[in-house]
Structure 1
Amino acid sequence: MRSLVRPVPSNQIPVSAIIESMQPIVSVKNLSKTYASGFQALKNINLAINRGEIFALLGPNGAGKTTLISIICGIVNASEGSVTVDGHEIVADYRSARSLIGLVPQELTTDSFETVWATVSFSRGLFGKPKNPAHIEKVLRDLSLWEKRNSKIITLSGGMKRRVLIAKALAHEPRVLFLDEPTAGVDVELRRDMWKLVRSLTQSGVTIILTTHYIDEAEEMADRIGVISAGEIMLVEEKTELMRKLGKKQLTLQLDSPLEQVPAALAGYALAVDKGGSELIYTYEGEGGRTDIIALLKALDDASIRFTDLHTTQSSLEDIFVSLLRGDQ
């Protein structure tokens, strides 16, 4: 009699693994933080970070970015709410949750009289990880620190010290890496090394949560964007979708003859004349605005307005960010 039970192929991914991969690696629910002074730094934060993504958290100074990161990393206690990291609650299962996290803080905090090798190796030992000189060597080489491995921290430049902080955060092979303003005030070379390393980490499955004032970095690197202001999450969106939905595009026409103002016949279009009258600027949003360009060009021809050249521009992430904070959107 033929068996009704089919063997599971050896290369088939278990259902449990598929379910796990779909669940967020960091889950923040109803999180609030009020200090003894009465200042409320965070207000009912709900946030889910996906596995393997680069998530950029943007916000002005004092918005609550560092407080949120500090709570997730177990440095600051929340007033209300909960946080889990890969299913481990950060209070009830502190050791397991914390062992999955690496943190690169804003401030340079490390023993000035230790050598680079000793301080990075010590950071690995703090998490109960067995010695792994090969891993420490790889981290130091990736961050261009290998030649400085026997140097004392006090002898290093500011940029090199920041590299050491990153190395310390990676020493115990975390699955979630927080980068809190990691490239603030550092040289171009370190920024390039940093983003090269970030790309390689995400390829190995590490999740990156980034805060930065260099919004061009977030625009280049991030998969999703979160904006926080006054302790509240304003939005969380896929970067490409955010740019599509909130970004504005402009078509600039170089005029054959100057105009003093937009003719009445073109009042139905979002047009503006530059100060010199030599350019006509059409602002539009999304694909719908693009289809209006054909009608606009016909209307210009009907109004006997000629142009010699044209080009288009699009809002940057920084433009969108500033607009959100001003309440323009």
Structure 2
Amino acid sequence: MDIFYISLLPQLSGSTLLYTQIGNLPGIFQVLGEAASMPFGLAILILLFLGGLSKSAQFPFTQWLVTAMTGPTPVSALIHAATMVNLGAMLTFLTYPYLAFQASNLDVSTLLIFFSVMAGISLFTALYTSFNALVSNEQKVVLANSTADQISLMIFASSMGGVLAILDGNLILLFSGIAIGLIQMVAHGIYKATLFMNAGSVIHYTETRYMGTVAGLFKELKWVFITQLIVALNLANVPPLIGFWAHSYISSLTLTNPSLNLFYLFLEFLGAIYIIRYVMKTFLWRGSEHEEERGHVYPEMLISPTVLALASIGLGVSISLVTAFFSSRFFAEGFNFDFVEFGSH
């Protein structure tokens, strides 16, 4: 827990600098846009956001998430899919509009650097954690690194939306980036919760945390294997699953920069490799051939993974309804959330 106390220091430092420049704090959101125009504007913004980045296990605060895997697997599923670990991404979704709308023309360069720094941190985190997932043999460690990787893509989406909004002079691009990040959050919550719950079933059945220790496990845990394969294919970008659409939408943010787009595609390739390696080494590996006493996977342990696996299929097939929802509820009235048109910018 020391990392959380350490992460509070930059937030307090940023708030202190903000207070010394303004004199009072009627509300952090009300004055957030003014931070960019202050003498230490860039430092204030980075310090304020470091707390959220640390709770989302962004570099250099990734290690706490990997070492927190001793808790019960259902708790891991909840934390990684829906709660605290998403804080850094949610912080960008909630605060970036305040930065953009309240900033003056003089603040543009500071904001551009800030959004670029945030995007850079998230991309490096994705690269770092993807390689970590590729070399780990412990199931929950692979999935923990995957969580940091996938959340970094949410932060990248919103931050890249900010970069494009400044360069293009169109704030709609910022909200498009935030909306894409939210779609990635929904997709990630679905497949990551399933991955963790099924990993818990495998650990309970085999009584080991490590992959590749039981031969032909897919024969003994057929339904666990099927649901785990479905949600893994979400992360591996296989259409028409919701994970494919979320990652494709993020790639639309990089189309204006061929080098960045190539780097992003490489990150997605790494993600596909490590999750397919995880499934193959857990369920299809030869492992040990000798008979051992096994645990039990009870039927009620399969209900939630099944519902979520079906949801990943259903949302993927009905992606037009998902984007229509964001068009009608998230954006200004009359704005069409057209990703094809957005990708042509």
| More strand as a share of residues | 1
Aligning the two structures, in what range does the TM-score lie when normalised by the shorter sequence? under 0.3
TM-score scaled by length of structure 2: 0.23
Larger-gyration structure (1/2): 1
| More helix as a share of residues | 2
